[in-house]
Structure 1
């Protein structure tokens, strides 16, 4: 039972109670107090009751209807600010912290609640923005020294006069992983801030481009790539959506089972959304671990291919890009092993003829 209905019933109950008390008072006045002229009429109380009863029933019926209609209207007016606060809460829950209630009217309890909620959103937006700027700035500052180190290591590895030194190869691997992590943090920050221009994108073409790019890696690891589906038009950043698809396909390859495996990429067009699905064969993923796979630096299974250590941000980046495009991300453990990842995005608006 909603609060509006409870308030309506309470208001109706008070109106009916007041009406009943007034009718009882009138009945007592007519039947208990002697009236000049009526005292000469035998059993005049019965005549008064027969005339008073229909009037009382009509009065109570009117009060019931009036109480329900008036209570429903007044409760709606009283709770309208609460509906605005609820809508703002739902908007903030989707990650949009820039929305403000800005409740008009006099300074009452609802206005104080709305102002406090706006202040909380402003502080959250400032803190999140500060964290994102720090991650972006720190990652950007790390790119130059890491690139310089990589260049020096490449020169050392390419020097034919040097003796084989496994330490240099190890340093090169660690440096490459640090560069990948830095680039992933920059991409994650960019997706969270939604600083990109929206364009028309066909997810089916994006899926084909991602699979073609990763085909050499798949062949090297004996993983079969399969693509299928419909034209799936949406709007967003082509670069970010390509990164999303590439991350999913790459995860499907490196987290596959040893030996022959497969990664299947499909697209689907629905009435109001488009869907990208990537599923792979692999080791069984515990169901209780699936909800945590999109957290940064989480992995569902050990990587089969040690030459692609990754940064642990693949699915976190996928989640951020999906949310930045107002979509939903669903992860499901396949019964036979592996993972099915579904990305559902709003379909592109169909142009009017």
Structure 2
């Protein structure tokens, strides 16, 4: 059951619309008060007492003007306050309409509707930027959820298959009085090895998806050389030649996970090859300082459509059929582990079909 954060206990306060409205009204009132103060200051320059104009006419003095000014200034101030409240309420509502759209979408997403998007229209500003960022985040979350759902469904199927096969073989052997125990044990051993390999691959994939925080300086060239040495015997048994063009490719990361990345890349290139084939391993550093490793192998022709899906769990270039080679128990997680390790190190991988058959897989790991 997923954990949910308890709702924080906060005292009830004014809504954001009322806060903006009062802010607008207060600003207008302050401006009015400042203008009144300026008017009072100017009236101080009007002489006080009984004033007469040339020609005998009456001239209002400061005492005459001040009450009239205060009366109308007060009425104007009340009008400004009312205008500030009404106009502020309308302006705040118009401004918050788009924010309510974002909030409504967030509530629908919280309820489980990951397909809903804000899709805010209008000119670019802070709120539209927030909405676009939120939509982009939802796209990423939905893609991650869909990927994990597919992984869970495929993993449950893959984990169930060996046990079902074992049960079927035992039932058949129990019903057959002339059963060959040695053959049964051999077949059980093969299925058991596949189950163990699948479990280890799933654990490796889970470990890769949660990259360790302990990072240190790593040279992909050294890891590639070690992977080529470790898989040299397996390549020779398949009549596959491994060649290396290794240049220092320094980066920072978890050595174990990056070694797993290199091992899976080389193993995938060796296994999915043909007799007399080749595997070429290259490492270098690009102009930005990122470390790159590229593994190219000969082999069956792979279409662009299939190549684009090979980093998904349990996807194989030849479909979901079991490999005919009994020396390798494939579970379709090799490139998924590679992609997860690269992603855990803020890197990426690209899978491109090679002209004439085979693949070119490139992993890029940032320097920091």
* TM-score interval, normalised by the smaller of the two chains: 0.5 to 0.7
CA distance in 2, matches of 1:210, 1:111: 49
2:299 aligned to which of 260, 279, 282 = 282
TM-score (norm 1): 0.54
Give the corresponding residue for 1:249. 266
Check whether the contact 1:254–1:305 (CA below 8 A) recurs between aligned residues.
no
Inter-CA distance 343–290: structure 2 relative to 1 (3 Å threshold): same
The counterpart of 2:281, out of the listed 238, 242, 265, is: 265
Q: Supply the distance in 2 between the matched residues of 1:291 and 1:112 (Cα, whole angstroms).
A: 31
Shift of 1:269: 1.4
Would the aligned equivalents of 1:254 and 1:304 in 2 still touch at CA under 8 Å?
no
Are 1:168 and 2:180 an aligned pair? no
Task: Tell me the equivalent position of 1:206.
Answer: 223
How much is the aligned-residue C-alpha RMSD, in angstroms? Answer: 4.1
**Among residues 239, 244, 259, which one is paired with 1:227 in the alignment?**
244
Q: Deviations over 1:26-69 (max 9, x none)?
A: xxxxxxxxxxxxxxxxxxxxxxxxxxxxxxxxxxxxxxxxxxxx
Partners in 2 of 1:110 and 1:196 — Cα distance? 35
Secondary structure in structure 2 of the residue aligned to 1:227: strand
How many Å separate the matches in 1 of 2:127 and 2:312?
Answer: 36
From 333, 341, 345, the equivalent of 2:361 is 341
Over 3 Å counting, the alpha-carbon distance change for 1:218 and 1:111 in structure 2 is: closer
For residue 204 of structure 2, the aligned residue among 170, 187, 192 is 187
8 Å CA contact 2:193–2:329 kept in 1: the answer is no
The offset of 1:171, in angstroms, is: 1.2
CA 191–165 in structure 1, closer or farther in 2 if over 3 Å, else same: same
Cα deviation, 1:253-284, whole Å, max 9, x if unaligned, reads 11001x21111111011122121000111111
Larger radius of gyration: 2
Cα distance in structure 2, aligned partners of 1:111 and 1:299: 42
Gap runs ≥5 in structure 2: 1-94, 103-125, 167-179
Map of 1:1-353 to 2, 5 A cutoff? Answer: 110=127, 117=134, 165-257=182-274, 259-272=275-288, 273-301=290-318, 303=323, 305-347=325-367
Which whole-Å CA distance do the structure 1 matches of 2:364 and 2:336 have between them? 16
Superposed displacement of residue 221, structure 1:
0.9
CA distance in 2, matches of 1:174, 1:202: 37
1:304 and 1:221, CA in 2 relative to 1: closer, same or farther beyond 3 A?
farther
For the 8 Å contact 1:255–1:304, the answer to whether it is kept is no
Unmatched segments (≥5 aa) in structure 1 = 1-77, 86-108, 150-162, 349-353
CA distance in 2, matches of 1:310, 1:240: 20
Between 194-203 and 205-214, report the one with greater CA deviation. 194-203
Give distance in 2, aligned partners of 1:242 and 1:221: 23
Task: Indicate how the Cα distance of structure 1 residues 326 and 182 shifts in structure 2: closer, same or farther if over 3 A, else same.
Answer: same
CA distance in 2, matches of 1:112, 1:207: 43
- Alpha carbons 1:204, 1:267 under 8 Å: kept: yes
The verdict on how the C-alpha distance between 1:205 and 1:304 changes in structure 2, with shifts beyond 3 A counting, is farther
Distance 1:231 1:304, change over 3 A: farther
Normalised to the residue count of structure 2, the TM-score between the two structures is 0.52
Structure 1 residue 239, shift from structure 2 partner: 0.6
Shift of 1:174: 1.1
Shift of 1:112: 12
SS at match of 2:308: helix
Aligned residues: 223
